[in-house]
Structure formats: C-alpha cells, structure tokens
Structure 1
Amino acid sequence: MTKSSHENDVAFIQALADLLNQHDLAEISVKREYGENDRLNVTVSKYAPQVASPVAAAPLAAPAPAAPAPAPAPAAAPAEKPEIPSDPANHPGAVTSPMVGTAYLAPEPGAEPFVTVGSQVKEGQTVMIIEAMKTMNHIPAPRAGTVKRILVEDGTPVEYGAPLLIIE
C-alpha cells in the first residue's frame, strides 16, 4: 500500500467519524473492494464492540407479529409498589440492548415468543434475539424475576443501550 493510499484511507476514516458525530449515529461500517487482494473494511463505532456468539439457525425470513404489552395495573397504595419511571431506560429492572440490530421475540416466525408479560425468567435464560450483521445473538436475562413489560415489537430495529424489557 502506498503512502498516498494510506493517507486517503485515513482521511476517509476521519470523514466517517465526522459523519458518525454529525448525525448522532452509533456505528458506521464500510467495505471497499479495490481489486482481488486489495480491500478496506472499516467499522467506526462510539461504543466498545460486543462479543456475540453466533447461532446455528436459519435467518429469520419474516418476523411474527408481537402481542401488544398490556398497560401496568395501577398501584393499590403508593407505599406498596414504587412508581415505574416515565423513561423505561431509567428503570432498575430494564434490560438494554448490547448492540445495534433487529429485535426478534421468538426463535423463528410463527413460533412461541421466548417470554411474555408475566413470564418468570431465570438468570441467563434467553429473552429475545437481536440480529446484527446476519448473526442471531441471544439476549440473556441478567437476573431472575418476572417480565413486567416488553418495550419493543417483534422485528423492530434497536440501538445500543435501548431498553428492551423490564424484569422485576
């Protein structure tokens, strides 16, 4: 690789970083093929990469429709049950997305969802899948508890850190 080519690549990567900041993006990934043995693969991200284990399953062709989450029941007395914060991301039981991708609530179209509102989950149990770069990443429950709210619909895109569901 020539020095000029290297300088052009650095300028290109800097331009990607500027775009990332200007448009408040989480990540940009570009692959350039210049020839048979000359290519450039660049990923510019604001966040540390997440380690994901690939799933040996066929890609999801069409997402199954999600059941709407029922509204939480009103508290009987304020002292008995704390109020759910207006922003679900601030809730202490929020499970957030470890990556950018598409959230799926079931292992395949037409299958039963991993969890529903009211489901009891164990720590480490799969609660949904996030597809990122054609890889199905199982999202485990970080703690045991009851699923109180599901905050995403099946087949919707999610950002890094976005709240997915509430486990209490």
Structure 2
Amino acid sequence: MTKNTHDADVAFIQALAELLNENDLTELQVKRDYAEDDSLNVRVSRKPPQQIMAPQQMHASAAPMAAAAPAPAAAAPAAAAPAAEQASDPADHPGAVTSPMVGTVYLQGEPGAPAFISVGASVAEGDTLLIVEAMKTMNHIPAPRAGTIKRILVADGDAVEFGAPLVILE
C-alpha cells in the first residue's frame, strides 16, 4: 500500500467518523475493494452516552472512535404506569430488558401474526419477547426470567440502539 493510498484511507475514515456524528449514528461499517487481494474494512462505532454495560460485556479495546452526541429520549406511554415511574428513565428500571444490538424491532414473527407479548401477559424464562433484525438476521430476544410484562417501550418497526430498553418485565 502506498503512502498516497494510506493518506486517502485516513481521510476516508475521518469522513466516516464525521458522518457518524452528523447523522447521530452509533455504528458504520464499510468495505472498500482496491484489487483482488487488496481491500480495506472499516468499522467506526461509538458508545451511546446512556449505555450501561455489564462487566462481562466490557472490553479494553471497546473505546469509541468518535465523540458521543446526546441520544434522543425514549417516549414513555401515558397509560399503565404511575407518574413517578414514567418520569424516571426506563433503562434504570430493575426489570428492563434491553436490546443486545442495534437493529429493527418486530413484535410478531411475521406480518399479520399475533404479537409475541402484550402488557399484562405472563412469560416464562426463555420465551421470545420480540425480534431484533440486524444485518438481515432475525434475532429472537428471550425473556431473561419468568414474569409479567408491565410495559412495552418500543413499537413494531422501531429502530433501536444497543442497550435501549425494550420491555419492563416484573
């Protein structure tokens, strides 16, 4: 790889980081093919500011490459919860089930099918709560424990970030 190509790649990566910030994205991945045996794979990501990671998820090499911008606040439904609970961040709720990845939420297995869950429904540990589609892969999100669905914080087709609260399970 020549110095000229290296400088162009650095400029390209900096442009991706700027694009990440300008569009309030959390991750961007691009592959550039130069020749049959010469390519550049770039993944630029940042940690959302309100993201809380469990110790087993933390990695020393997971430092963000770009400065984080404020994330939009999740809208809380007006029904089924006391006013004090609505005022607090749903991600702080002890029964919050969060998204393990960035993707699109689906509340049913296929269009027209019944939803996996509803408010007030009882679920067993391992039951599918919803699906998060990431990179054309349907990822079933299981219930981490048995309980009752108190709130559903996302709508069908919503885009979600890593660590975003999806459901309150008590």
Please indicate, yes or no, whether the TM-score normalized by the shorter chain is above 0.5.
yes
Cα RMSD (Å) of the superposition? 2.7
Q: TM-score, normalised by structure 1?
A: 0.70
In the TM superposition, what are the counterparts of 1:43-122 in structure 2 within 5 Å?
A: 43-47=43-47, 71-72=79-80, 83-86=84-87, 87-122=89-124
Question: How much does 1:16 deviate?
Answer: 2.2
Equivalent residue number for residue 162 of structure 1: 164
Q: TM-score, normalised by structure 2?
A: 0.70
**Percent of pairs identical after alignment?**
67
Equivalent residue number for residue 14 of structure 2: 14
Partners in 2 of 1:14 and 1:2 — Cα distance? 19
Equivalent residue number for residue 150 of structure 2: 148
Gaps of 5+ in 1: 51-68, 76-82
Partners in 1 of 2:99 and 2:141 — Cα distance? 8
Q: What's the secondary structure of 2:139's corresponding residue?
A: strand
Gaps of 5+ in 2: 48-52, 58-76
**Larger RCO: 1 or 2 (CA < 8 Å, sep 6+):** 1
Question: How much does 1:164 deviate?
Answer: 0.9
Spell out structure 1 runs of 4+ moving beyond 4 A. none
Contact 1:85–1:91 at 8 Å: present in 2 too? no
Q: How many residues align?
A: 142
Partners in 2 of 1:138 and 1:91 — Cα distance? 22
Would you tell me which structure has more helix in proportion to its own residues? 2
